Amino acid sequence: MIHQIGTVVSLIVDGQEVTVPGGTSVMQAAAGLDIKVPKLCATDSLDAFGSCRVCLVEIEGRKGYPASCTTEVEEGMVVHTQSERLDGLRRNVVELYVSDHPLDCINCSANGDCELQDTAEALGVESSRYGMDGWNHKDAEKDTSNPYFTFDPSQCIVCYRCVRACDDIQGTFALSVEGRGFASRIIAGQSDSFMESDCVSCGACVDQCPTEALIENTIIEHGQPERSVVTTCAYCGVGCSLVAELKGDQVLRMTPDKQGQANEGHACIKGRFAFGYATHQDRITRPMIRENIDDPWREVSWDEVFRYTADRLRSIQQEHGRDSIGGITSSRCTNEETFLVQKMIRAAFGNNNVDTCARVCHSPTGYGLKTTLGESAGTQAFNSVAYADVVMVMGANPSDAHPVFASRLKHRLRQGAKLIVVDPRKIDLVNAPHIRADHHLAVRPGGNVAFLNAMAHVVVTEGLEAGDFIAQRCEDEAYRHWREFISNEQNSPEATERTTGIPASQLRAAARLFATAPNAAIYYGLGVSEHSQGSTAVMGIANLAMVTGNLGREGVGVNPLRGQNNVQGSCDMGSFPHELPGYRHVSDAAVRSLFENEWNVQLHPEPGLRIPNMFDAAISGHFKGLYVQGEDLAQSDPNTQHVEHALKSLECLVVQDLFLNETARFAHVFLPGSSFLEKNGTFTNAERRISMVRKAIEPLAGLEDWEVTMALSNALGYPMNYSHPSEIMDEIARLTPTFTGVSYEKLERLGSIQWPCNEDAPEGTPTMHVGEFVRGKGYFAITGFVPTEERTTRRFPLLLTTGRILSQYNVGAQTRRTANSEFYSEDVLEIHPFDAEERGISQDDWCGVSSRAGNTVLRAVISERMQPGVVYTTFHFPSSGANVVTTDNSDWATNCPEYKVTAVQVSQVSEPSQWQKEYSAFVRRQEELLDKARARVQNNA
C-alpha cells in the first residue's frame, strides 16, 4: 500500500482510538497505546519480517489472524490484540519453539535476558505438548571460532534477526538460512565457521538475537551484568555511544546505545569487543622515574613524581630558557584533559610550545576548511548521507577505519545512491556485497591535487557550475580568478592523466556524475591530508563542493573522516602552537586578554613549536623537556630514526600513558594514564558532536588524566583547582564562542551536541554553512599542483602508501592487547602480482622495503587490490617499523607528514632489517629493566 507523505490514519486498538502516520504497523500503533503484542522476530531496529507468527491479532472484517508486525494500519481499522483464541494460537507457536529448545533456563547464560523465555512466561508456557524428544536441533554443534561470541544452534529459533542485522544494519551479508521448514538453520558464509566467513565481528547479530543462540563469551563465562554506564567509544572519530555493562568492577560487555545519535545502535569490532586492554596486565599503574634512560625505573608516589617532574622541568627552563620545554596533547584524551594540557603549557610553562597528534593527521583539514569556508570542521551530521545522491569517497577506507559510518553509507548506496571512490587501492567499497562503485578512480599517490583540479576543470569548462549558488554565496573576485586558473588546459583530465593515473574519459564521467547530482557529498580521510599538498587538496575539495553548490544543506558537504576519537576535540581545544581554544590566533591581543583575565597570567604572543620543529630543536640542543600525554611519537611519527634521535636528545621526557609505549623507552618520567572507562569528560567526533564519557570503574592508578595534569601544574607553581571535569567544560564554554551554550547539564539532557552551540544555535548545529559560510562568502583558493619531492627513481621505483585495518587501531597499543590480534597479527606489505613477479616475491615471503629514510622487512601479500607500481602497508605493530621508511616530507602549510607517498624498493630477503634487530634488543633490555623495578617493589613489600 502506498501512503502519501504526511498522511495520518486513525484506528481502534483494544477499544482505544489512536492516530498514527500512514505506513505504521499495527504492532507499532498498539505500542503507542502501551499495548504490548507478544513478538519474537520483530525488533525496533529492523524492518518487519513476519516469520515467527507470535504477534497475531484479530482485525474486524478480516479473515484469519494477521501478523501485527507486518500489517499496516488502515483508516477505521478495529484491532483486538487479546483474546482466548489469540492466546491459544500464540501458545501453540511458542510450544513448537520450546519443543526444539533446551528447557534449562536456570542454567542458561541468557537467563533473565531472553525474549523466548519472557514470551513463554507471559503466555504461561512451561512445557510443550509436542514433547521434547522429537526431531530437534538440541545436539547441534556450537561454533566457538569467534574469540568474542559463540553461536549455539540448539538455542536458535530461526527468527532471521541475525541475518537481517548482518544485511540491513551492518551491510556484510555474512549470514543466511540453509534448508527449509524445520530443517532450516543459520549458516555463516557457505556453511563455514564465523571466523572463516566474511563476518567482521561487529556484533549486530549478537545484539539482535532474542535467545542465547548468539551470545558474548564474557556472558557465558561470568553471567549477566548487574549495572550499566552509557559512555562514548574511545577508538575512531565516529564516536559511537556505547553501554558499558558491568558486574562489580568488571566490564562484561559493551553494547551499542540505541539512543546514540552518531551510531543509532550499531558498533564495530573495536568498540563492541576490544575493551580488554583497559585491564590488561601490561597496564602501568604506578608513577615511575629514572635519571637516565638506561637506568631501571623506580616506582614512586604521586606526590614524589609531581615534585620530581616539576623540579626537572623548571631547572631545564632556568638553564636553557623558557622556550626549552613543551608538551603534546592527545586526540585520544577528553576535551577537558586536552584543554588542561594546553592551558598548563601556556600558563605554567609560559610558552606556546604545544602541539597535538592531529598535526600528523588532519591539520591540513583545519587549514584548508578554515581558509575556504571559515571553519575548521566537517559540515554535516553522519545521518546527512541518507539524503546524498552521489557520494565521493576520497583517500578514506570507511569499512576499515570508520566502520559504523561505512554501514550507514552502504545502506544509502544499496538504496541507489551513486559512488565514486578515489583511492590508489581497490578498497572494500569498490565492490562490496550489493554495492559496486560507479567509478573507482585509482589515483597515483601524490596526484590528489591534480585530480581535484581536473574534476573542477570539467565542471567549469562543461558549464556544470552551480551559477546561482556561486553568485549568492561566494566571493566574486576570488571565484573569477580561480575560474580562470582552473579553466587552463593544464588542469584538464587529459593533461593531468600521467600525474593522476586516471584515464581522462573516466575522470570526465565521474565529474559529470558528481556535478549533475541533486545532492553530492564528499567524504575524505588521511589519504587526502597526509601529503606535501594536503592543505591544497582540502581546499580543492572545498572548491569542488562550492562550484557544484554542494554545501549548506543535508545530503551534501565536505566531511573529513577523523581517525582518532577526539581529533576534532583536540584541535578545538587549542592544541596547536599558534591557536588558543576556538582556533583564535595567539597574536590576537583581544583574544589573549580574554584568556589572561580568566587564567590570571600573561600569555606569550608568539606561536610556539610544532612537533617536527620540537624534534629538530631537540637534536640541535635547544629543546630539552617534553611532556607527552597519550601519544606514541616513536611509533606514529614518520622517519623513526630521526624521531628516536630527537627523543634521546631530551633531558627530561615525561610520558603519560596506559602502557610503557615506544616513546616511553626514552622517558625519564612515566605518569600512569586512565582509560576511557576510568574517567569523566567529553569527546568530539568527526561531525562536531560532543558526547559524554562517563566513568564506569575507578582509575586503576588512582587519578584521572585531568587530575594528573592539574597536580603537575600545581607542582610547577601555576594553581589549578577543579573538582570535576564539568567545571573545566564551564571554563571552555566561557572562553570559546562555539561552545558558549555547552554544559554537562545540557549534554545530559540532549544526549549530545554538535557545535557551534551558542545563543544562535542553543541546541547545536547539525549542518554548517546554511544560508552563508562562517567566513561570510566562500573563498575559492588557487590550488596549483606542485609535485611532491618524493619521486620514484631507478633505485626506489615503487610508491609506498599506508593505511589501517578494521581490527587494529592506530599504533595498536590498545587493540594489540585484545583478541583483535587473532584477526590481524602483523603488518604486511600488499603488492601487485606484476611487481611481485618481477622481484621473484611469492605470497608470505619476507620483503625488504627500503626508502631514502630507512629499511624494514614485512611479509608479502600479493593482491590485485593494488595497482602496479604502488605498495601498501599498515602501521599497527611497532616491530614492523612501517614509519622507519616514511620520510620527513610534509604539508607545506601545516607540516602534516607525507605518510602516503614514499618511494621504495622491495626485494625478497631472508631476515629482519638491522633496525628491527636493534629494536628487538632494545625492547628486551627495557623489559629487563622493568622486571628489575617490579622485583624491587615486591622485595620492599
- Catalog residues that contact ligand SF4 under the rule CB under 6 A: 156-162, 165-166, 170, 172, 174-175, 186, 199-205, 208-211, 213-214, 233, 235-236, 238-240, 263, 267-268, 270-271, 402-404
Closest approach of ligand SF4 to the CB of residue 200, in Å:
5
Closest approach of ligand SF4 to the CB of residue 3, in Å:
30
Q: Round the CA-based radius of gyration of the chain to a whole number and report it.
A: 29
Of these partners, ligand SF4, ligand FES, none, which one is at the site of residue 54 (CB under 5 to 8 Å by kind)?
A: ligand FES
Of these partners, ligand SF4, ligand FES, none, which one is at the site of residue 52 (CB under 5 to 8 Å by kind)?
A: ligand FES
Residue 863's φ and ψ, nearest 5 degrees, are: -145, 130
Pick between residue 211 and residue 788 the one whose CB is nearest to ligand SF4: 211
Closest approach of ligand SF4 to the CB of residue 540, in Å:
27
Residue 920's alpha-carbon distances to 280, 642, 647, 913, in angstroms, are 22, 18, 18, 11
Closest approach of ligand SF4 to the CB of residue 411, in Å:
14
Helices (H) and strands (E) in the chain, counts: 30, 36
Pick between residue 51 and residue 543 the one whose CB is nearest to ligand FES: 51
Of these partners, ligand SF4, ligand FES, none, which one is at the site of residue 67 (CB under 5 to 8 Å by kind)?
A: ligand FES
Pick between residue 41 and residue 538 the one whose CB is nearest to ligand SF4: 41
Pick between residue 119 and residue 218 the one whose CB is nearest to ligand FES: 119
| CA atoms of 814 and 836, how far apart (whole Å) | 33
Pick between residue 240 and residue 710 the one whose CB is nearest to ligand SF4: 240
Closest approach of ligand SF4 to the CB of residue 274, in Å:
8
| CA atoms of 561 and 551, how far apart (whole Å) | 17
Of these partners, ligand FES, ligand SF4, none, which one is at the site of residue 40 (CB under 5 to 8 Å by kind)?
A: ligand FES
Closest approach of ligand FES to the CB of residue 681, in Å:
41
Pick between residue 39 and residue 746 the one whose CB is nearest to ligand FES: 39
**Cell numbers placing 675:** 582509560
Residue 123's alpha-carbon distances to 54, 70, 140, 411, in angstroms, are 10, 21, 27, 37
Pick between residue 204 and residue 671 the one whose CB is nearest to ligand SF4: 204
Please give, one letter per residue, the 3-state secondary structure of 423-452: CCCCCHHHEECCEECCEEECCCCCCHHHHH
Half-sphere exposure of 90 (CA within 13 A, CB side): 27
The answer to whether 208 touches 258, Cβ cutoff 8 Å, is: no
Pick between residue 172 and residue 330 the one whose CB is nearest to ligand SF4: 172
Closest approach of ligand SF4 to the CB of residue 729, in Å:
21
Of these partners, ligand FES, ligand SF4, none, which one is at the site of residue 563 (CB under 5 to 8 Å by kind)?
A: none
Residue 546's alpha-carbon distances to 292, 458, 539, in angstroms, are 55, 14, 10
Residue partners of 555: CB distance under 8 A and separation at least 6: 384, 385, 386, 387, 388, 389, 518, 519, 521
Closest approach of ligand SF4 to the CB of residue 864, in Å:
24
| CA atoms of 100 and 134, how far apart (whole Å) | 8
Pick between residue 39 and residue 679 the one whose CB is nearest to ligand FES: 39
Pick between residue 457 and residue 689 the one whose CB is nearest to ligand SF4: 689
The answer to whether 674 touches 645, Cβ cutoff 8 Å, is: no
Residue partners of 88: CB distance under 8 A and separation at least 6: none
Pick between residue 43 and residue 851 the one whose CB is nearest to ligand FES: 43
Of these partners, ligand SF4, ligand FES, none, which one is at the site of residue 160 (CB under 5 to 8 Å by kind)?
A: ligand SF4
**Which single residue is written with the C-alpha cell 588542561?**
340
| CA atoms of 933 and 941, how far apart (whole Å) | 12
Closest approach of ligand FES to the CB of residue 94, in Å:
11
**Which single residue is written with the C-alpha cell 611469492?**
842
Nearest CA to 487 out of 511, 458, 513 is that of: 458
**Cell numbers placing 793:** 627513481
**Cell numbers placing 859:** 611479509
The answer to whether 508 touches 492, Cβ cutoff 8 Å, is: no
Distance of CA 67 to the CA centre of its chain: 40
Of these partners, ligand SF4, ligand FES, none, which one is at the site of residue 474 (CB under 5 to 8 Å by kind)?
A: none
Closest approach of ligand FES to the CB of residue 306, in Å:
60
Pick between residue 93 and residue 421 the one whose CB is nearest to ligand FES: 93
Of these partners, ligand FES, ligand SF4, none, which one is at the site of residue 235 (CB under 5 to 8 Å by kind)?
A: ligand SF4
Pick between residue 81 and residue 740 the one whose CB is nearest to ligand FES: 81
The answer to whether 684 touches 335, Cβ cutoff 8 Å, is: yes
| CA atoms of 13 and 81, how far apart (whole Å) | 7
| CA atoms of 897 and 642, how far apart (whole Å) | 13
Residues at the contact surface with ligand FES, assessed by CB under 6 A: 39-42, 50-55, 67, 69
Closest approach of ligand SF4 to the CB of residue 171, in Å:
9
Length of the chain: 941
* CA-based end-to-end distance of the chain: 76
Closest approach of ligand SF4 to the CB of residue 710, in Å:
28
Scanning 757-799, the segments in alpha helix (DSSP H) are: none
| CA atoms of 886 and 855, how far apart (whole Å) | 10
Dihedral sign computed on CA atoms, order 105, 106, 110, 112? positive
Pick between residue 54 and residue 831 the one whose CB is nearest to ligand FES: 54
Closest approach of ligand FES to the CB of residue 86, in Å:
13
Nearest CA to 289 out of 274, 301, 272, 277 is that of: 301
Pick between residue 214 and residue 539 the one whose CB is nearest to ligand SF4: 214
Pick between residue 175 and residue 441 the one whose CB is nearest to ligand SF4: 175
Of these partners, ligand SF4, ligand FES, none, which one is at the site of residue 204 (CB under 5 to 8 Å by kind)?
A: ligand SF4
| CA atoms of 328 and 711, how far apart (whole Å) | 17
| CA atoms of 318 and 320, how far apart (whole Å) | 6
Closest approach of ligand SF4 to the CB of residue 679, in Å:
17
Of these partners, ligand FES, ligand SF4, none, which one is at the site of residue 203 (CB under 5 to 8 Å by kind)?
A: ligand SF4
Pick between residue 199 and residue 413 the one whose CB is nearest to ligand SF4: 199
Of these partners, ligand FES, ligand SF4, none, which one is at the site of residue 628 (CB under 5 to 8 Å by kind)?
A: none
Of these partners, ligand FES, ligand SF4, none, which one is at the site of residue 432 (CB under 5 to 8 Å by kind)?
A: none
Closest approach of ligand FES to the CB of residue 40, in Å:
5
Closest approach of ligand FES to the CB of residue 215, in Å:
21
| CA atoms of 673 and 490, how far apart (whole Å) | 53
Of these partners, ligand SF4, ligand FES, none, which one is at the site of residue 283 (CB under 5 to 8 Å by kind)?
A: none
Of these partners, ligand FES, ligand SF4, none, which one is at the site of residue 42 (CB under 5 to 8 Å by kind)?
A: ligand FES
Closest approach of ligand SF4 to the CB of residue 211, in Å:
5
| CA atoms of 889 and 790, how far apart (whole Å) | 8
**Cell numbers placing 747:** 549534554
- Which amino acid is it at 877? F
Residue nearest to ligand SF4 (CB): 271
Residue partners of 4: CB distance under 8 A and separation at least 6: 22
Of these partners, ligand SF4, ligand FES, none, which one is at the site of residue 166 (CB under 5 to 8 Å by kind)?
A: ligand SF4
Of these partners, ligand SF4, ligand FES, none, which one is at the site of residue 201 (CB under 5 to 8 Å by kind)?
A: ligand SF4
Of these partners, ligand SF4, ligand FES, none, which one is at the site of residue 161 (CB under 5 to 8 Å by kind)?
A: ligand SF4
